[in-house]
């Protein structure tokens, strides 16, 4: 380790930023003796805090590092996914949040069992597990990689240090500590991004106008290409991907749905969701533009980047070489805050899903104390597994990490948003039809992945399965669109061959409208 990588002042600031989560967790520790408190914070938190917590969780260190990397190497096309979130959510968030708060106890996937049976619940909860284990491993990897470059620590050592801290924090304070930490860390994240961007702008000859001009000349401004093409990465591809990302994230993702349950009322929960959505998009845009500004800065300033530096390592390099003592510590603390605010939430929610969707199914009569113990053991196991995934990333390399994240969400989503849309909007959809749609989705996804994924190195690279003209040739992000459409379309068509026997009005949008109309009349 190179002890001269950071000044003692920076190390002190970072140490203090890690002490704050520990203290906050300890403050809430005594309350974490029931499942309701540990996972739902007693259902008593204010809307603004839950909303900021949603923002902090959705942003994470992926935004802090990978978005500047994309802004540095390309234009803003990957930001389109985030821009579609508010456009999509305003269409159904007002009935979705009250529906979930009425129908489920803890797990988002309880809804799918009530609507379509146990296999639907198993399918959706398993998709959540796979996606979030992959995501957590990537977050650990990104943060550890940045810190290893800045402090001299080995990347694997940093993964373990950060991982053990996150596990410890999550164990102690439960969801109430998670949300209040997210509030602190969310503001610290925004401060870090604004501070870094301000320094870049004032350090660049010509300031903001010169940055914009150079970026525009080099095609780093905009969201194109705009042609109707599903084979390459285009605006249309990202619009479609973003629509289904928004539906899946806010309609089926436990890390979001569980926060609906922490608010004081339905109105407060809806307000929190809107705060989360409309605060997240500007933060995504801030960090994407930060990368654009770095691109122009290194052209205009004459500073030379190290040969072969990866795009997502440019921002860490700028932090260490251009920022003054103290500011470095503050921005690195913001990076840590971004990681912790995402990882502690993931661990808590993974534990909630395991307890409700799996453990209590086989042992439904265990005591409250036993459930809390099982939940905490699950946090430890999930945390250690994610650390192992991150350690594996250090062996395979981290090129295009943001692309990997989108790809993993596409694959592991497995049509879940399609199932959600069937459950909410179609009164004809039934269990048998949806199971046929699930099978079709699995077959489709397997075919698409195996016929479009290459293995080997250099000239020896080859597709896992090569079916020639029958290979999947569209862009990999379209997997996150087609899988949902396959499950929705085939599930709906197959449902017409079977009769629905159970009452589902309270589980659909139509039923919600009828209930709202009835309440207004009374």
Q: Is residue 189 within 8 Å of 59, Cβ to Cβ? A: yes
Q: Where do the domains of the chain lie?
A: 8-27+39-400, 414-522
- Residue 260 makes CB contacts below 8 A (sequence gap 6+) with 97, 100, 101, 269, 272, 273
Instruction: Give the pLDDT confidence of 460-478 residue by residue, as tens digits.
Output: 778 888 999 999 999 988 9
Instruction: Give the pLDDT confidence of 131-140 residue by residue, as tens digits.
Output: 887 778 878 8
Half-sphere exposure of 165 (CA within 13 A, CB side): 21
What rounded mean pLDDT belongs to the chain? 88
Per-residue pLDDT, 112: 95
- Residue 68 makes CB contacts below 8 A (sequence gap 6+) with 287, 288, 290, 291, 294, 312, 314, 315
Residues paired with 463 in a beta bridge: 454
User: Average pLDDT of 43-57?
Assistant: 92
Quote the pTM value: 0.88
Provide the 3-class DSSP secondary structure of residue 263. strand
- CA 342-347-348 angle, to 5 degrees, is 100
Q: Does pLDDT of 108 surpass 60?
A: yes
Phi, psi of 45 (to 5 degrees): -85, 150
Instruction: Give the pLDDT confidence of 446-461 residue by residue, as tens digits.
Output: 899 889 887 766 667 7
Q: What stretch of H or E contains 454?
A: strand 454-455
C-alpha 420/C-alpha 435 separation (Å) is 13
Considering only the C-alpha atoms of the chain, give the largest distance between any 2 of them, rounded to a whole number of Å: 73
Alpha-carbon torsion angle 478, 480, 484, 489, nearest 10: 10
Alpha-carbon torsion angle 109, 114, 119, 123, nearest 10: -20
Residue 333 pLDDT level (bands cut at 50, 70, 90): confident
Provide the 3-class DSSP secondary structure of residue 463. strand
**In this structure, are strands 454-455 and 462-463 parallel, antiparallel, or unpaired?**
antiparallel
* Helices first, then strands: H and E counts in the chain: 22, 2
Per-residue pLDDT, 1: 36
The token duo for 37 is 């408190």
> What CATH number was assigned to the domain covering residues 8-27+39-400?
1.20.1730.10
């Amino acid at each position: 380790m190179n002890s001269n990588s950071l000044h003692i002042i920076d190390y002190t600031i970072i140490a203090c930023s890690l002490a704050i989560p520990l203290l906050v967790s300890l403050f809430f520790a005594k309350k974490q003796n029931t499942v309701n408190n540990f996972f739902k914070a007693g259902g008593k938190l204010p809307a603004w805090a839950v909303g900021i917590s949603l923002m902090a969780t959705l942003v994470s260190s992926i935004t802090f590092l990978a978005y500047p990397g994309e802004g540095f190497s390309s234009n803003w096309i990957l930001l389109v996914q985030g821009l579609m979130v508010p456009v999509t959510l305003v269409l159904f968030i007002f009935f979705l949040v009250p529906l979930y708060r009425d129908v489920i106890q803890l797990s988002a996937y309880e809804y799918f069992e009530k609507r379509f049976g146990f296999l639907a619940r198993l399918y959706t909860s398993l998709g959540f597990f796979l996606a979030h284990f992959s995501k957590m491993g990537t977050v650990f990897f990104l943060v550890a990689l940045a810190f290893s470059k800045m402090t001299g620590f080995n990347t694997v050592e940093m993964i373990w240090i950060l991982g053990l801290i996150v596990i410890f924090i999550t164990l102690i304070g439960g969801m109430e500590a998670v949300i209040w930490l997210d509030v602190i860390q969310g503001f610290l994240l925004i401060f870090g991004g604004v501070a870094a961007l301000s320094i870049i702008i004032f350090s660049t000859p010509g300031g903001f106008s010169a940055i914009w001009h150079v970026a525009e000349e080099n095609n780093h401004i905009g969201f194109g290409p705009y042609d109707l093409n599903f084979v390459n990465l285009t605006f249309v591809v990202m619009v479609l991907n973003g629509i289904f990302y928004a539906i899946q994230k806010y309609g089926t993702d436990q890390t979001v749905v569980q926060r609906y349950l922490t608010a004081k009322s339905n109105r407060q929960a809806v307000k929190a969701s809107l705060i989360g959505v409309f605060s997240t998009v500007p933060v995504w845009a801030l960090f994407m533009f930060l990368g654009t500004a770095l691109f122009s800065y290194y052209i205009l300033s004459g500073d030379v980047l190290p040969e072969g530096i990866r795009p997502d390592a440019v921002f860490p390099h700028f932090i260490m070489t251009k920022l003054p003592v103290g500011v470095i510590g503050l921005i690195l603390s913001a990076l840590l805050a971004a990681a912790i605010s995402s990882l502690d939430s993931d661990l808590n929610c993974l534990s909630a899903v395991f307890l409700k969707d799996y453990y209590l199914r086989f042992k439904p009569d265990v005591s409250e104390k036993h459930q809390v113990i099982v939940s905490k053991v699950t946090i430890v196991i999930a945390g250690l597994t994610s650390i192992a995934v991150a350690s594996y990333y250090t062996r395979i390399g981290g090129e295009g990490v943001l692309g990997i994240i989108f790809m993993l969400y596409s694959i592991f989503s497995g049509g879940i948003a399609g199932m959600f849309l069937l459950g909410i909007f179609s009164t004809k959809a039934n269990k048998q039809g949806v199971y046929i749609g699930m099978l079709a989705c699995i077959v489709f996804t397997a075919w698409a992945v195996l016929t479009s994924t290459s293995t080997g190195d250099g000239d020896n690279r080859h597709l896992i399965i090569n079916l020639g003209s029958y290979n999947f040739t569209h862009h990999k992000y379209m997997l996150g669109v087609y899988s949902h459409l396959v499950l929705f379309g085939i599930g709906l068509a197959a449902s017409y061959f079977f009769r629905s026997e159970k009452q589902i009005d309270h589980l659909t949008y139509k039923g919600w409208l009828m209930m709202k109309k009835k309440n207004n009349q009374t």
